Structure 1
Amino acid sequence: MDRTAACSLALVLALVAHSGLSSPAPAGREAWSYVEVRDGAHMFWWLYSARSLDLPLVLWLQGGPGGSGCGFGNFGEIGPLDGDLKPRNTSWELCRGTPSLIHYNVSVEVLTCPACGVQVQAASVLFVDNPVGTGFSYAERPDGFAPDVATVASDMLVLLRHFFTGRPEFQSVPFYIFSESYGGKMAAVISLELTKAVAEGTVKCNFAGVALGDSWISPLDSVMTWGPYLYTTSLLDDHGLEDVRAAAEDVKTAVEQQQFHKATELWSVAETVVEQNTNGVNFYNILTQQPDESRSSAAGEDFIALQVRRHIRPLHGQSLSELMNGPIRKKLGLIPENVTWGGQAEDVFGNMAGDFMRPVVDVVDQLLAAGVNVTVYNGQLDLIVDTMGQELWVKRLKWEGLAGFNDMRWTPLEDPAFPGVTGAFCKTYKNFTFFWILKAGHMIPSDQGPMALQMLRMITQQV
C-alpha cells in the first residue's frame, strides 16, 4: 500500500473512531452545529476556518432545492477531502501540501499538514444544508419546510445572525456568498435581505459580495434556450428542435399566466422531451449522457419524485450517502437518531414547487443598485442553466451600468492547469462581473477545479 492510500485509510479509520464528539464541536479550525431557525426547523452548518483572519469567509449554497452543501458541495466540489476522503488539490480551504503528509488530527478537529500547518488556499468556507430539510438539516413536522425563497432567506438570516454573534472574530472578515444552480436563486434573495440587515445593524458582518454560479435566476430564459443551444451543438435535429420549442412554449404560457406550480410540472415535461430527442443528454454536461436511473418517469411516479430523482439524487449518490450516513455521521456526533442525511430532500423540493419557476432578476437589479458586488459565472457545457439563457436575463437588467458593461470586451483568462490555454473569459464593470468558464458543465468546481479556484481568488481580490 502506498503512502497516499495508507493515509486515505487512516482518514477513514479516524473518522469512524471519532464518534463521541459533543455538540457543538470544540473551538478549532473546524466546527459544526445546528441552529433552530423556526420552531421545529433546524439547519446544520459546517465550518472550515483559516488560521489567518486576513482571508475571506465564503458561504457555499447548493442547488436543488434539496441538494446538500455539507455533503455534495463539501465532498464533491470544493471541500478539503473528496468523496473517497482523499485530499483535494483544488480545495478552497486547505493547502496543497503533499497528499501523503496530510492527516486527520482528531485532537484539534481539523485536517492538518505538517509541511505548512493549517494554511488555507483561499478562504474559510461555511457549508450550510439549506433549505430546512436538506442534508442533515431537518423539520420536525410538515409545516417546518420552506414554501418559497422568502422563507429560505429569513431562515438563513437567523442562522447567520447566530453564527456571527457566536463567532465575532468573523464579523470584520470579508464575507462572500457563493452558490450553484438553485442555490444562486436563494443566494440572490439572501444577499438582498442580508444587505438590509447589515444596514440596520441586526447582523454584524462585512458582506463583500455574492457569486451566482449556473444559477436559476430566470428559469424561463433557461428553458426557452434549451432548444437553440442543443441544436447549435448538434444534439437536436429539426424535428427535435420543434418538439423542444413546443414544450418550452407551454412552460412560457404557464409562467406568463402566473401558474407557477403548473409551470414547474411543464418544465419537467420539457426535460422529458429533451431526453427523448437527444437520447438522454446530461442536463449538467452536454458532452455526457444522463444516467439511466435519472431518466423519464416510471409508471405512477409523479413529477416531484421524477425531478428529485433527476436533479437531487445525483447529488446524493449511493457512495456519498453511505459516507454521510456512516463515517461522517459518527464523526459529527450530534445528528439526531431519527434524522437521515438526505432523507427529507423530496419534501424540500415538493414544498417549493410553486416557487420554483419564479424569476428573481429584479432582486439582482436591487443588489446592483445597492452597490453589492455581484458576479455571474457559468459553465460552457451546462444545459439546464445554459449560458445563452443567463446572457438573456443579464441583458434585460435595469441596472444603470448595463450599457457600460455591454460596451466592454471580455478578457481571456489562462487555464491554471494548462499554461497557454484559455480557461475562461471575464468581463467586469463597476460592481458587476461575468465569468464564462470553458470546458465546464453545471458543477464548475468539479469539472474545472483550478479555474474555479482562480475565479474565487479574483472575486475575493486575492490576485
Structure 2
Amino acid sequence: MGPLRAATGLSVLLLAAGVVLRQSQEPKELWGYVQVRNKAHMFWWLYYANNPTKAFTELPLILWLQGGPGASGCGFGNFEEIGPLDKEMKPRNTTWLQAASILFVDNPVGTGFSYVDDCSLFAKNLSTVVSDMMVFLGEFFTRRTEFQTIPFYIFSESYGGKMAAGISLELHEAVQKGTIKCNFMGTALGDSWISPLDSVLSWGPYLYSTSLLDDNGLAEVTAVAKEIMDAINKNQYGLATELWGKAEDVIEENTDNVNFYNIMNKEVPEMKSSEQENLHLVGLYQRLVRNMHKESLDELMNGPIRKKLKIIPDCVKWGGQSRDVFENMAEDFMKPVIDIVDQLLAASVNVTVYNGQLDLIVDTMGQEAWIRKLKWPNLDQFSKQRWKALYVSPESTETAAFHKAYENLAFFWILKAGHMVPSDQGEMALKMVRMVTQQQQ
C-alpha cells in the first residue's frame, strides 16, 4: 500500500526562511492518490463543508460513488452534480457542501484519474472493487484523523449503488472489528443498479404506461427482456450483459431514441464504434460511461483541472482507461446484490433508496420490485407506511418528492428527476441529503 499523497488547494503563509507560520483557515480541498494494490492507483478529491454558520466538524462527511462502472465521480459527480463549481467553473447554488464535506473517489481503479500500470489489474468483480475501497478508506481515515468521529455516509448513483452496497457491508464489519476507525452512519442508493433484472423487466411496462411504446413495441421489448431473464437464470451473466445492450437498441428503435437517463429528453444517435468485436457491449459503454465524458467535461478535466491538481502522471489521461474498466466488469454487470441490502438491513445499517421519476435505465418500478423481494423482517411494516409529500421549502406548494421510512429503511420518490437526481432537482436532492444525515432544516 502506498502513502496517501495529498495536495492542498490553499496556500499557507510562510516566513522568509520557508518555515510554515500558520494556515489562515482549514484547507477547503485536498486530493491525492492511494496505491490500493501494487501498480493500482486510486485518485481521490476531498472538499471540506462550506456552511456559513457551521464548521466542517459539525457536519457529516459524504463519500460519493459514480456509476458506469468507469464513470468518474471526481469529474461528473463533482462538476455536473453536487460539487462547488459546475463545468463552466461557476458556483453551484445547490452544492452538497452546504450540508456536508464531500469525498469523491474515482473507482474502480482505471476510472477518471485513477489508473493501473498493468492491464491485468482492472477489477473484474464486486469483491475486488470492495477490497480496493477498503484499502483506500483505511488509509484515508488513518491519515485524516479529523474525520474519524464525524458522521460518515456513502451516497451513490447507478452502478455506484451496487458498489456502495458491497462497500457499506464490508465497512460496517471493519468498523465493528476496529480495523477502520470511522463513524459510519449509513448508505444512500440513488437510481442504483441493485437488481438489473428487475430494472429490465420493468422497462416495457414503464415506457408503455408513458405512451413511449405501442403494443408492438411492448411485445418486442418484453421478448428481449425474457431473453435476459433466461440468461440470468442460467447464470450466463456475460451473455445477459450483451443482451442488455441489445434490449436498449430495441427500445431506441421503438421510441424514436428515448433518452435512458430522462424519458422527457431524446437521445441523439451517434455512431457507436467502427470496431466490430461486440457492438452491443460497445453501445452499452457509450450509454453508461461515454455519455458522462462529454467533450466539454473532457476538456475541463484534461486541461485546467489537470493543471490545477499538478499530481496527475503524464501517462494518465482522465477517462483514458474507462472503457477497460467497463469491459472488465462485464461479467459482473448483471449480477444482483439484493442479498447484500438484506444483510445491511439485518446489521441495522441505515439504508436509503432514492429514485428519479423520469429515469428509464433504473426506473422506479424496478426499484420497487426488488424492494418487495427483501427478506428483511420489517418489510411488511415498511410497505404499510403511507408516503409523505415533500416540498423544497415551507413556502412552496409544488410537490417535489414523496418519502416513506420505517426503522432503518427509507425511500424517496423524486419527482421531475431523471437518472442524475442532483442535476435535475438540485434543491430537492439537497433537502434529501439533510434528511438522510439527520440535519434539522
Equivalent-residue separation in structure 2 for 1:357 and 1:297 (angstroms): 23
Q: Are 2:55 and 1:73 equivalent residues in the alignment?
A: no
Equivalent-residue separation in structure 2 for 1:252 and 1:232 (angstroms): 22
CA RMSD across the alignment: 1.4
Equivalent-residue separation in structure 1 for 2:161 and 2:60 (angstroms): 19
Contact kept in structure 2, 1:304 and 1:346, CA below 8 Å: no
Partner of 1:24: helix, strand, or coil?
strand
Equivalent-residue separation in structure 2 for 1:313 and 1:88 (angstroms): 24
Identify unmatched segments of 5+ residues in structure 1: 1-22, 94-120
Q: Are 2:250 and 1:273 equivalent residues in the alignment?
A: yes
Change (3 A) 1:418 1:65: farther
Of 400, 404, 422, the match for 2:381: 404
Change (3 A) 1:418 1:377: farther
Question: Which range moved further: 25-34 or 345-354?
Answer: 25-34
Equivalent-residue separation in structure 2 for 1:311 and 1:68 (angstroms): 11
Question: Which range moved further: 361-370 or 143-152?
Answer: 143-152
Report the CA distance between 1:146 and its aligned residue. 0.4
Report the CA distance between 1:311 and its aligned residue. 1.5
Equivalent-residue separation in structure 1 for 2:391 and 2:325 (angstroms): 39
Q: Are 2:7 and 1:25 equivalent residues in the alignment?
A: yes
Report the CA distance between 1:309 and its aligned residue. 1.3
Contact kept in structure 2, 1:416 and 1:451, CA below 8 Å: no
Report the CA distance between 1:314 and its aligned residue. 1.2
Q: Deviations over 1:16-41 (max 9, x none)?
A: xxxxxxx5214712100000001111
Q: Which residue of 2 aligns with 1:110?
A: none
Q: Which residue of 2 aligns with 1:16?
A: none
Q: TM-score, normalised by structure 1?
A: 0.88
Identity across aligned pairs (percent)? 63
Q: Which amino acid aligns with 1:25?
A: A
Q: Which residue of 1 aligns with 2:52?
A: none
Equivalent-residue separation in structure 1 for 2:324 and 2:351 (angstroms): 31
Q: How does 1:187-198 map to 2 (within 5 A)?
A: 187-198=164-175
Of 307, 315, 321, the match for 1:330: 307
Contact kept in structure 2, 1:231 and 1:237, CA below 8 Å: yes
Partner of 1:178: helix, strand, or coil?
strand
Q: TM-score, normalised by structure 2?
A: 0.92
Q: Which residue of 2 aligns with 1:13?
A: none
Q: How does 1:375-390 map to 2 (within 5 A)?
A: 375-390=352-367
Q: Deviations over 1:310-334 (max 9, x none)?
A: 2211111100000000000000000
Q: Which residue of 1 aligns with 2:182?
A: 205
Partner of 2:254: helix, strand, or coil?
helix
Contact kept in structure 2, 1:379 and 1:442, CA below 8 Å: yes
Equivalent-residue separation in structure 2 for 1:413 and 1:385 (angstroms): 22
Of 293, 302, 306, the match for 2:283: 306
Report the CA distance between 1:305 and its aligned residue. 2.2
Deviation beyond 6 Å, 4+ runs, structure 1:
none
Equivalent-residue separation in structure 2 for 1:417 and 1:89 (angstroms): 18
Q: Which residue of 2 aligns with 1:445?
A: 422
Q: Deviations over 1:257-313 (max 9, x none)?
A: 0000000000000000000000100000000011222x7666726233221112211
Equivalent-residue separation in structure 2 for 1:28 and 1:59 (angstroms): 18
Q: Which amino acid aligns with 1:372?
A: V
Count of residue pairs brought into register by the alignment: 414
Partner of 1:433: helix, strand, or coil?
strand
Q: How does 1:34-433 map to 2 (within 5 A)?
A: 34-50=33-49, 51-93=55-97, 121-293=98-270, 300=276, 302=278, 303-416=280-393, 419-433=396-410
Equivalent-residue separation in structure 1 for 2:391 and 2:419 (angstroms): 20
Partner of 1:378: helix, strand, or coil?
strand
Equivalent-residue separation in structure 2 for 1:356 and 1:228 (angstroms): 23
Equivalent-residue separation in structure 2 for 1:403 and 1:233 (angstroms): 29
Q: Deviations over 1:26-83 (max 9, x none)?
A: 4712100000001111000000013430100000000000000000000000000000
Contact kept in structure 1, 2:272 and 2:282, CA below 8 Å: no
Identify unmatched segments of 5+ residues in structure 2: 9-25, 50-54
Change (3 A) 1:217 1:39: same
